Amino acid sequence: MKRRAWLLSGAGALGALVVGWGALPARSRLGSGKLWPIDSADTSVALNGWIKITSDGSVVLAMARSEMGQGVHTALAMLVAEELDLPLSRIKLAQAGSDAIYGNVAMLVSSLPFHPSQLGDSGKPAAMQVRVGQWMVGKVARELGIHVTGGSSSVADAWEPLRLAAATARASLLGAASLAWKLPVAELMVKNGLVSHPSGLSAHYGKFAKYAASTPPGHVSLKPRKDWTLIGQSAPRTDVPAKVNGTAMFGTDVRLPGLLYAAVRLCPMLGGSPGAINASAAVAMPGVLRIVPLQAWAGSSAGFAVIGKTWWHAQQAAQAVQLEWQQRPAGALDSRAVEKQLQAALLRDTGHVFFEQGDVAAAESAAARKLEATYSAPYLAHATLEPMNCTAQVSGGKVFIWVPSQVPQMAAAVAARVAGVGIDDVTVVVTLLGGGFGRRLEVDFVAQAVRVAMDSGGQPVQLIWSREEDMTHDFYRPMATARLQASINAQGVASSLRIQSAGDAISPRWFERAATVLQGPLDMPDKTTAEGLFGLPYAFAHQKMSHVATRSSVPVGYWRSVGHSHNAFFSECFIDELALAAGQDALAYRRALLKNAPRHLAVLELAAAEAGWGTTLPAGRARGIALHESFGSIVAQVAVVSLEAGVPRVHQVVCAIDCGTVVNPGIVAQQMEGAVVFGLSAALYGRIDIHDGQVQQKNYSDYGMQKLAKSPQVVTYFVSSQAPPTGVGEPGVPPLAPAVANAMYILTGQRRRMLPLMD
């Protein structure tokens, strides 16, 4: 925390010092064994900040990422098991400490708004300014050491440091065995968790761990790709057995001695506050202990919580409280008004230009004709299956929290602030997450739980939101709109593409909630607003992509695939419109535009071939295609769609993906399947409406989800690659909506430019 405070407080005075600091080598992420907590009952031996060896030769891995169903605990363990040549079942996980080595560097580096033309085919930067930018941001990220699970970055971030940590541990173990056996280290090998020698000597890692901790590793090298036996294989997920037998611990599974429960009731008008209250009937109800006022922490709405002996007691009492709610002073929020504001912003402002190439204005002046379309997308909720919850205990000047969080450091920081203690007096235990999708990048519910625990006399309290509170007090995916314009010359070729979008910026609002040292608004160009629009791979000679950042006061946050989630719908549907205007097949049109993007073309061709593009479908069915890059990965999808009583039914989705080196093909396929169902729910049904300051959708009954019985078959194919791994958890979402919409146009002859498609 001291390092972070120094960077923030000194940011305005760095000056020329940045040049010298930037030339220094990046901080090592290997870490010392001293980073592990001291436990007299623990007989394992730490070899570095990531790896410990137990007495039976198993390995303990410091886990710095949250498991929310994406399989990251399995994938990261596979990296270590591969380098140590150990069965995956012999890798045990322990929550990582707070040191900077565990921070997510890749996520911050990927936030830089570079265009694909500035990157080489291998994903490595081609332009000097890109290399410098990535180097500097990478160094800052290493210093900050922010622990966060998001941005589909966990495997990409761990790819080098985890393998290096395991390879270093392997080298030290071999060195210790060499000294113990008085044999040349070159004659020793590791296999299946054993160090062995051709003479017959063999012992597991636990026999050498103590000596390995004090043995210099010497030469450290990563295992050659040709020798991999685990990476690239569909190993079973390690978290599944506990989830099947019920021993897995999610946030709402935490059970502590003397545990109390709390239910919340927040102001139904976003930004509003509680007024006169009559709680006499609620306090008199059985099992009710007390009522605690809640202020608006970390972007939340104000309200109150009820503490009870069970959550049901607390929830019933919360509903019995009579309260006069007050609108926010600036007036009620309304999504219909926001939609009009966005449309006006497109006409009024030019916005921030994220990418410009050629001379769009000249191309438009010389055009034989123009094609223009306006697309829009609504607010969306995260709707995680497990609602927001946190268990907290405040006693003796110490705070303990058990929480399903994507940002444990932020959870600790807000807990310290609410309880008035130092950050070192807060202990955070991260449980499994029953869905994240970006919602658990927020800590409003953590602040509430700590405040409630402060009034519980030292007893632990588990605060759980109802589904209705969860749905109506989310940090929503922003409403967005975009105007796309293309110039078409006399030969029917689209020579220019202009895209202007408008919508709230997420990152400035999130940083305002996250950074307690900041005062007032923090506005800056936000890549997430225009991602998926300014980095299109298509070879338009003249391009200009800009975004008008608005501020509606509706609480907005990161939502699975963020700006890509709606921007892909805008761009890929418009590409189909251009293909139609040119009288060309949608696949052929894209092929011609991808002449300078071989990776994208390979993914597109694979999806089309496996989906049988161009072959005859049964009557009443049509195919739609879409291609999109996000989080470093390229995904193409072909959706087979029909109409049943006028309602779209998606029968099959064929996915092709280039995500670099595939660590676990089974997990990637699962993520594509999950992304399709998640994306289909949003594409067909998802919308949040706000009237008179109140969110209208309150539960799954009015916030539609894709049902299992009508979910499509999803088939995933991989483009072979030796590049480092890129994102997987989110890239399957963006192409789904445009693929379905493009198929629907073939069926109906009507172009849907507004989500959801069922409206």
Q: What is the DSSP string of 480-510?
A: EEEEEEEEE-TTS-EEEEEEEEEEE-HHHHH
User: How far is the C-alpha of 388 from the C-alpha of 470, rounded, in Å?
Assistant: 7
pLDDT tens digits for range 426-483 = 999 999 999 999 999 999 999 999 999 999 999 999 999 999 999 999 999 999 999 9
Q: What is the pLDDT of residue 592?
A: 96
Class of domain 335-380+476-748: alpha beta
The pTM for the full model equals: 0.95
CATH number of the domain located at residue range(s) 17-104+145-245 in this protein: 3.30.365.10
For the chain, give the number of residues: 759
Strand, coil or helix: what is 302? coil
Cβ neighbours, 10 Å, residue 755: 25
Look at residue 221 and tell me whether its pLDDT is greater than 80: yes
Closest CA to 299 of 396, 495, 442, 121: 442
C-alpha count within 13 angstroms, C-beta hemisphere, residue 489: 12
Look at residue 673 and tell me whether its pLDDT is greater than 90: yes
pLDDT tens digits for range 481-507 = 999 999 998 888 899 999 999 999 999
User: How far is the C-alpha of 542 from the C-alpha of 366, rounded, in Å?
Assistant: 12
- Written in H, E and C, the secondary structure of 262-287 is EEEEECCECCCEEEEEECHHHHCCCC
Look at residue 368 and tell me whether its pLDDT is greater than 80: yes
Which whole number is the average pLDDT over 158-171? 98
Cβ atoms of 544 and 485 closer than 8 Å: no
Q: What is the pLDDT of residue 458?
A: 97
Mean pLDDT value across the chain: 94
Q: What is the pLDDT of residue 38?
A: 86
Look at residue 269 and tell me whether its pLDDT is greater than 70: yes
Cβ atoms of 667 and 725 closer than 8 Å: no
Which whole number is the average pLDDT over 209-222? 95
Q: What is the pLDDT of residue 516?
A: 55
* Domain spans in the chain, listed from the N-terminal domain onward: 17-104+145-245, 251-329+388-464, 335-380+476-748
Given the candidates 3.30.70.20, 3.30.365.10, 3.40.50.10610, 3.20.20.70, the CATH classification of the domain at 251-329+388-464 is 3.30.365.10
Structure tokens at 173: 């173990």
Which whole number is the average pLDDT over 155-165? 98
User: How far is the C-alpha of 589 from the C-alpha of 572, rounded, in Å?
Assistant: 12
pLDDT tens digits for range 43-79 = 999 999 999 999 999 999 999 999 999 999 999 999 9
Look at residue 15 and tell me whether its pLDDT is greater than 70: no
Cα angle vertex 552, ends 548, 555, to 5°?
115
pLDDT tens digits for range 504-560 = 999 999 999 987 544 556 788 999 999 999 999 999 999 999 999 999 999 999 999
User: How far is the C-alpha of 364 from the C-alpha of 713, rounded, in Å?
Assistant: 43
End-to-end CA distance of the chain: 48
> What confidence category does residue 118 fall into, taking pLDDT thresholds of 50, 70 and 90?
confident
Q: Are strands 647-658 and 633-644 parallel, antiparallel or unpaired?
A: antiparallel
b (16+ CB within 10 A) / e for 621-659 = bbbbbbbbbbbbbbbbbbbbbbeeeeebebeebbbbbbb
Q: Which residues are CB-neighbours of 560 under 8 A, at least 6 positions away?
A: 382, 437, 438, 675, 678, 729, 730, 733
Beta-ladder partners of 754: 376
Q: What is the pLDDT of residue 521?
A: 62
Q: Which residue has the tokens 């919602």?
A: 439
Which whole number is the average pLDDT over 189-193? 96
Which whole number is the average pLDDT over 641-651? 95
Please tell me if the domain spanning 17-104+145-245 has the same topology as the one spanning 335-380+476-748.
yes
Look at residue 395 and tell me whether its pLDDT is greater than 90: yes
User: How far is the C-alpha of 198 from the C-alpha of 421, rounded, in Å?
Assistant: 58
